[in-house]
Amino acid sequence: MTDLVLYDYFRSSAAYRVRIALRLKGLSYDQIPAHLVRGGGEHLSDAYRAINPQRRVPALAIGDDRTILIQSSAIIEWLEETFPEPPLLPAEPFSRARCRAIAAIVGCDIHPLNNLSTLNYLRNQLGCDKPAVDAWYAHWIAEGFSAIEELIEPEPFAMGAKPTLADAYLVPQVYNARRFAVPLDAFPKIVAVAEACAALPVFRDAAPENQPDAE
């Protein structure tokens, strides 16, 4: 088994989706936390920049030579290609495309607009107050979730009887929505998927509150 070390932050949804993928693959790994707030952000240190030049989490160190992968989507693709069983994508090509689309709505359309760096820019550079930032956050959740709600049919997971890449992306975004008190009444199918995932140990073990750096 390849040695894996995840540079992590318990509340990072990008790191959270990688934790889910690792657990769905049945892979063991070590964790090194990089706190995104404490001391102005441990991820901004020169030491962490030497690991990840983008200075974000997650990063995954692989093997004895500590090869580093960054960006959650690239890390998960590497996991799928390197450890193909169990698969994170459906076998049928159109289903695979729909699964990737759900993940992309979260990873490309929701998460970048609600990331900590974006919210800090709204607060610090643009002078937005808390109600304005909260409204921004909720708007982009609703925009993305409205599309995802149309794409999934919980059976009980986003793409059918087994968790997939779509669930690995969706569950952390539901966690974030709840953390910021975004109403989810309009998205019953998404809520049902999140509840089905929460019943599985792999998702519970990956949850933020169960990480070694959880506060």
208 cis-preceded (ω within 30 degrees of 0): no
- Record the tokens describing residue 78, joined without a space: 């590497």
pLDDT value of position 1: 53
Q: What whole-number distance in Å separates Cα of residue 148 and Cα of residue 135?
A: 20
Local structure of residue 43 (DSSP, 8 states)? G
* 114-123: long-range contacts, CB 8 A cutoff, minimum separation 24: 114/140, 114/141, 114/176, 116/36
pLDDT for residue 205 = 97
Dist. CA 72–CA 84, nearest whole Å: 17
Give the pLDDT confidence score for residue 38 in this predicted structure: 84
Structure letter (DSSP) for residue 105: I
User: Residue 40 has what pLDDT?
Assistant: 80
Query: Residue 102 belongs to a domain with what CATH number?
Result: 1.20.1050.10
CB 9 within 8 A of CB 15: yes
Number of domains the chain contains: 2
Mean pLDDT of 6-21: 96
Amino acid 203: pLDDT: 98
> Does 98 share its domain with 149?
yes
Indicate if 121 and 73 belong to the same structural domain: no
Tokens at 41, concatenated: 């952000």
pLDDT digits (tens, 9 = 90+) for 118-160: 999 999 999 999 999 999 999 999 999 999 999 998 999 999 9
Q: Looking at the structure, do residues 78 and 117 belong to the same domain, yes or no?
A: no
Please check whether residue 211 lies inside any domain of the structure.
Answer: no
Residues 97 and 198 occupy one common structural domain: yes
Q: What is the pLDDT of residues 65-88, one digit of tens each?
A: 789 999 999 999 999 999 999 999
The reply to whether 169 and 151 lie within a common domain is yes
Is the predicted pLDDT of residue 94 greater than 80, yes or no? Answer: yes
* Domain range for 12: 7-86
213 part of a folded domain = no
* Contacting residues for 159 by C-beta, under 8 A, at least 6 apart: 90, 95, 98, 99, 102, 152, 166, 167
Check whether residue 80 and residue 115 sit in a common domain: no
The strand pairing partners of 5, in sequence order, are 30, 61
Mean pLDDT computed over every residue of the chain: 95
Q: To 10 degrees, the CA torsion angle through 198, 200, 201, 204?
A: -10
